[in-house]
Structure 1
Amino acid sequence: MTAIPNPYNPLNPTEHPAYFVNRAETFTFFRQNLAGAAFGRALALIGRRGLGKTSVLYQLAGQLDERYVVCLVALGNASLADEESLILAMTEDIRLALDLAGSSTYRLPEWPPEVDPGEELPSIRDWFESDYLTIAVTALRGRTLILALDDAHLLFPAIQHGAVPGDIWDFLGGLMITHPRIELVVSVDAAYEDQALATTLLSDPVLHTRLSELSREDAAVLVQQPLEGVARYDEGVVADILALAGGHPFLLHSICRLLFRRSEERNHNGPITEHDLIAVQDAALEQSSEIFEPLWQEMAQNERLALTALVALNEEYPGAGATLEDLHTWATAHGYTPNTTQLAAALRSLDYKGLVQIDMQARYTLPALLIAGWVAANSPIEMAPVAQPSASRFVPVVGLVAALLIVAALGAAAFLGAFDAGDEDEGGGSSGPTATLALNLEATRQSEFATQTEAARPTETLTPTLTVTPSLTVTASETPSETPSPTDIATSTATLTASPEPSATDTLTTTPEPSETPEPSTTPRPTITDTPAPTDTPVTPTLTHMPSDTPTPSDTPTVTLTYTSTPTYTATPTDTATLTRTPTVTRTATATPSATVTPRPTRTPTPSRTPTQRPSPDPTRILPALP
Structure 2
Amino acid sequence: QALNRENQRLHIFLTGERRMGKTSTLNHLSTLLSTRYLPIILDLQSPDMLSSTAAFLSKVANAIYTTMDARGARIRRLEHTTLQEASRENEAACYHLFNEWLKDVETILKRNDQTLLIAFDEFEKLEVAGRERYLSLALLLNWIRSVIQNHAHLTLLFSGVRTLTDVNPDWPGYFVNVKTLKVTLLAPEDARTLITQPVPDFRGEDIFGEGVVDEIIQVSGCHPFLVQAICDELIEALNFERRKRATHEDVATAVENVLQSWSAYFQDLWARTSAQQQVCLKALKCLGHASVSQVVQQCALDEQKVQQTLQELQWRDLVLVENDCYRIAIPVFASWLSV
TM-score for both structures, normalised by structure 1: 0.47
Alpha-carbon offset, residue 259 of structure 1: 2.3
Of 145, 155, 159, which aligns to 2:126?
155
What runs of 5+ residues in structure 2 fail to find an aligned partner? 84-88
Alpha-carbon offset, residue 219 of structure 1: 1.2
Question: Is contact 1:366–1:372 with CA below 8 Å preserved after alignment?
Answer: yes
Count of aligned positions: 328
Q: Which residue in 2 is equivalent to 1:596?
A: none
Larger Rg: 1
Is 2:116 the counterpart of 1:145? yes
- Give secondary structure in 1 for the equivalent of 2:98: helix
- Give secondary structure in 1 for the equivalent of 2:159: strand
- Give secondary structure in 2 for the equivalent of 1:112: helix
Flag the 1:65–1:87 CA change in 2: closer, same or farther, 3 A.
same
Q: Which residue in 2 is equivalent to 1:282?
A: 256
Is 2:295 the counterpart of 1:327? yes
Q: Which residue in 2 is equivalent to 1:372?
A: 334
Question: Is contact 2:61–2:77 with CA below 8 Å preserved after alignment?
Answer: no
Is 2:280 the counterpart of 1:309? no
- Rounded to whole Å, the distance in 2 between the matches of 1:256 and 1:301 is 33
- Give secondary structure in 1 for the equivalent of 2:40: strand
Question: Is contact 1:145–1:181 with CA below 8 Å preserved after alignment?
Answer: yes
Q: CA-to-partner distance for each residue in 1:148-170, whole Å, 9 max, x for gaps?
A: 11222211111112112122111
- Rounded to whole Å, the distance in 2 between the matches of 1:113 and 1:160 is 26
- Rounded to whole Å, the distance in 2 between the matches of 1:339 and 1:94 is 52
- Rounded to whole Å, the distance in 2 between the matches of 1:70 and 1:197 is 29
Q: Which residue in 2 is equivalent to 1:233?
A: 208
Is 2:65 the counterpart of 1:102? no
Aligned residue runs from structure 1 range 538-577, under 5 A? none
Q: Which residue in 2 is equivalent to 1:467?
A: none
Alpha-carbon offset, residue 31 of structure 1: 3.2
- Rounded to whole Å, the distance in 1 between the matches of 2:106 and 2:17 is 33
Flag the 1:283–1:110 CA change in 2: closer, same or farther, 3 A.
same
Question: Is contact 1:51–1:211 with CA below 8 Å preserved after alignment?
Answer: yes
Alpha-carbon offset, residue 94 of structure 1: 1.7
- Rounded to whole Å, the distance in 1 between the matches of 2:298 and 2:245 is 42
Q: Which residue in 1 is equivalent to 2:235?
A: 260
Alpha-carbon offset, residue 343 of structure 1: 2.8
Flag the 1:225–1:211 CA change in 2: closer, same or farther, 3 A.
same
- Give secondary structure in 2 for the equivalent of 1:351: helix
Q: CA-to-partner distance for each residue in 1:597-627, whole Å, 9 max, x for gaps?
A: xxxxxxxxxxxxxxxxxxxxxxxxxxxxxxx
> RMSD over aligned Cα, in angstroms?
3.2
Of 82, 100, 104, which aligns to 2:52?
82
Flag the 1:104–1:259 CA change in 2: closer, same or farther, 3 A.
farther
Q: CA-to-partner distance for each residue in 1:236-260, whole Å, 9 max, x for gaps?
A: 2112211221122222222222223
Amino acid at match of 2:295: L
Q: Which residue in 2 is equivalent to 1:54?
A: 23
Name which structure has the greater RCO, CA cutoff 8 Å, separation 6+. Answer: 2
Flag the 1:174–1:214 CA change in 2: closer, same or farther, 3 A.
same
- Rounded to whole Å, the distance in 2 between the matches of 1:279 and 1:250 is 17
Is 2:145 the counterpart of 1:173? yes
Q: CA-to-partner distance for each residue in 1:20-77, whole Å, 9 max, x for gaps?
A: xxxxxxx2x333557244xxxx421222222211222233333332322111222233
- Rounded to whole Å, the distance in 1 between the matches of 2:82 and 2:292 is 65
- Rounded to whole Å, the distance in 1 between the matches of 2:103 and 2:261 is 45
Amino acid at match of 2:123: A
Of 349, 356, 359, which aligns to 2:312?
349
- Give secondary structure in 2 for the equivalent of 1:35: coil
Question: Is contact 2:196–2:203 with CA below 8 Å preserved after alignment?
Answer: no
Flag the 1:304–1:229 CA change in 2: closer, same or farther, 3 A.
closer
Amino acid at match of 1:324: V
Alpha-carbon offset, residue 290 of structure 1: 4.6
Q: CA-to-partner distance for each residue in 1:392-448, whole Å, 9 max, x for gaps?
A: xxxxxxxxxxxxxxxxxxxxxxxxxxxxxxxxxxxxxxxxxxxxxxxxxxxxxxxxx
What runs of 5+ residues in structure 1 fail to find an aligned partner? 1-26, 115-119, 315-320, 332-336, 378-627
Alpha-carbon offset, residue 265 of structure 1: 3.5
Flag the 1:178–1:357 CA change in 2: closer, same or farther, 3 A.
closer
Amino acid at match of 1:218: D
